Amino acid sequence: MVNTESVSKSFTVSVTNVSTDISVTAPTYFKVSTDNVTFASSQNIPVANFASGSLVIYVKFAPTELGFKNGNITISSGTLSEKTVAVAGTGIPRVYNYPTFTNVAAAFGTGLSQSNTQTFTLHNDNSNIQKIYAYIKLRCPSAGCNAWDVFANVKVKDPSSNEWYEIARYITPYGKNNAQVDRGFKVDVTDFKSLLSGTVELRSFVEVWGSDGWVVSVDFDFIEGTPDYPYYAISRLIQYNDNSLEGVIYGENASAFDLTKSVQIPANALATNLRTIITGWGHATPNDPDGRPCAEWCFRTHNVKINGSNTFSHYLGPIGCASNLVQPQSGNWSPDRAGWCPGMAVPIRTDNFSSSLAGQSLNYEYAFQPWVNDLASTNANIHAYYAISSFVVVKSNTPIVKPTVTE
């Protein structure tokens, strides 16, 4: 990683009939040592140190910038012919890892809880952080993993409003851990870098209805580099996502949910985007012509309207459940849902505006594709739901305040 030193490698220098000191010089970005403790760009070694006829030289790669670097270590002594050893390394971004929840139980029943809230200390200064990723690892308790695919998420508290912002959502596998996915479900949470700094409150939630449940761990990678912009701020547009059935009721009384907002963008914004997570639930009718009930199965296109015009669209269609890395699961895991799969992170829908909108006011509306529930489903849950969170993110080269959202 850039601005760190690698583990050491070594080679052996053997000498015969040499009477002058041996000089070992490393190329830029590399260091050498005779004791594997003290490293420098060069070492001048008294010939007496070669009393046994040879000496081990240790080498470390110490990049200060990204990319592939190579060169030759030179070994010289007086007028003797120079010897060389080729070295190469690749500088990669520096990563700061922060474990948060560690093997916390999520279960339902007496003395059990679906959620867990804790305070953690994360990276202090995110101005030179290029990306932040959350990794969510699921393990099975001693009784085995819960049998069902259920709604689950991680939230961070916005200290300015005391509101919980959803940073990641995933669906648990049917009765199986996610060990087949390296480090667990990976979610880009860079949009929340203004909140994921210093002391933060996080909440892990799994909508499980059994006493078996899940064992959840979450850690974060903060990747150092040149960000698109050093300063971010984020505000909630809409959140109906306390659980799968606390979403917007689809195809019934839409006026019961506030899906329109007025937004004031800060004057120093240089880029603005929207970030949305959405999953459908329920087996409501009428079915689509291909037999799919709503909203878990029915494929739909939603529109994001800005100032009354359709500006962005979200297609909730198949994303390849049968090719899920977490397999085989029990239950009905392989058929395609509308925009999500059991045992996967829910996709992030990012909408980038073509201009910064700096200093502008805009009207936002989330619009569902028209459909009317006939309330004739024989399923125990005859309603259709869309659990949704949507945020507006602004970025700048100077410190920036969060957008003002008017209800």
Residue 76 and residue 175 in one domain: no
Q: Name the stretches of the chain with pLDDT < 50.
A: none
5 included as an active-site residue: no
Write the CATH number for 370: 2.60.120.230
Domain shared by 286 and 401, yes or no: yes
Do 68 and 175 reside in the same domain of the chain? no
For 122-131, the pLDDT digits (tens) are 999 999 999 9
Last residue of a domain, one of 73, 91, 109: 91
Q: Name the 3-class secondary structure at 254.
A: helix
Task: Render pLDDT for 68-98 as a digit per residue (tens, 0 to 9).
Answer: 999 999 999 988 889 999 999 999 999 999 9
Q: What is the pLDDT of residue 51?
A: 83
Judge whether 278 lies within some domain.
yes
Residues 236 and 281 grouped into a single domain: yes
Answer yes or no: 65 catalytic. no
Catalytic residue chosen out of the listed positions 149, 191, 224, 365: 149
Q: Are residues 26 and 170 in the same domain?
A: no
Q: Does some domain include residue 86?
A: yes
- The per-residue pLDDT for 340 is 98
Is residue 47 included in any domain, yes or no?
A: yes
pLDDT for the residue 28 = 97
Shared domain check, 206 and 193: yes
Respond yes or no on whether the N-terminal peptide bond of residue 399 is cis (omega within 30° of 0): no
Catalytic pick among 166, 207, 224, 365: 207
On whether both 190 and 48 belong to a single domain, the answer is no
Placement of tokens 């009721």 in the chain: 249
- The number of domains in the chain is 3
Nearest-5° angle of CA 156, CA 319, CA 215?
45
Strand partners, 44: 23
Q: Can you say whether the dihedral through the CA atoms of 111, 148, 300, 323 is positive or negative?
A: positive
Contact between 382 and 289 under an 8 Å Cβ cutoff? The reply is no
Active-site position among 158, 191, 212, 296? 296
Q: Which residues does 65 contact at the CB level (< 8 Å), separation at least 6?
A: 2, 91
309 inside domain:
yes
- The verdict on 136 and 169 lying in the same domain is yes
Q: What is the pLDDT of residue 248?
A: 96
Question: Is 151 found in the same domain as 99?
Answer: yes
Residue at 365 is within a domain: yes
Q: What is the CATH number of the domain that holds 34?
A: 2.60.40
296 assigned to active site: yes
- Residue 174 lies in domain: 94-227
Q: Is 4 inside a domain boundary?
A: no
How high is the pLDDT of residue 79?
87
Cβ atoms 322, 331 nearer than 8 A: no
Q: CA-CA distance, 32 to 24, in Å (whole number)? A: 8
What is the reported pLDDT for 264? 98
Cβ–Cβ under 8 Å, residues 90 and 192? no
E strand intervals along 265-402: 271-281, 283-284, 294-295, 300-306, 309-316, 344-345, 349-352, 361-367, 384-396
Q: Look at residue 240 in the predicted model and tell me its pLDDT.
A: 97
Give me the pLDDT at residue 379, please. 83
The reply to whether 289 and 321 lie within a common domain is yes
Q: What's the pLDDT at 381?
A: 82
- Which domain-ending residue is among 40, 65, 91? 91
- The confidence score (pLDDT) of residue 67 equals 95
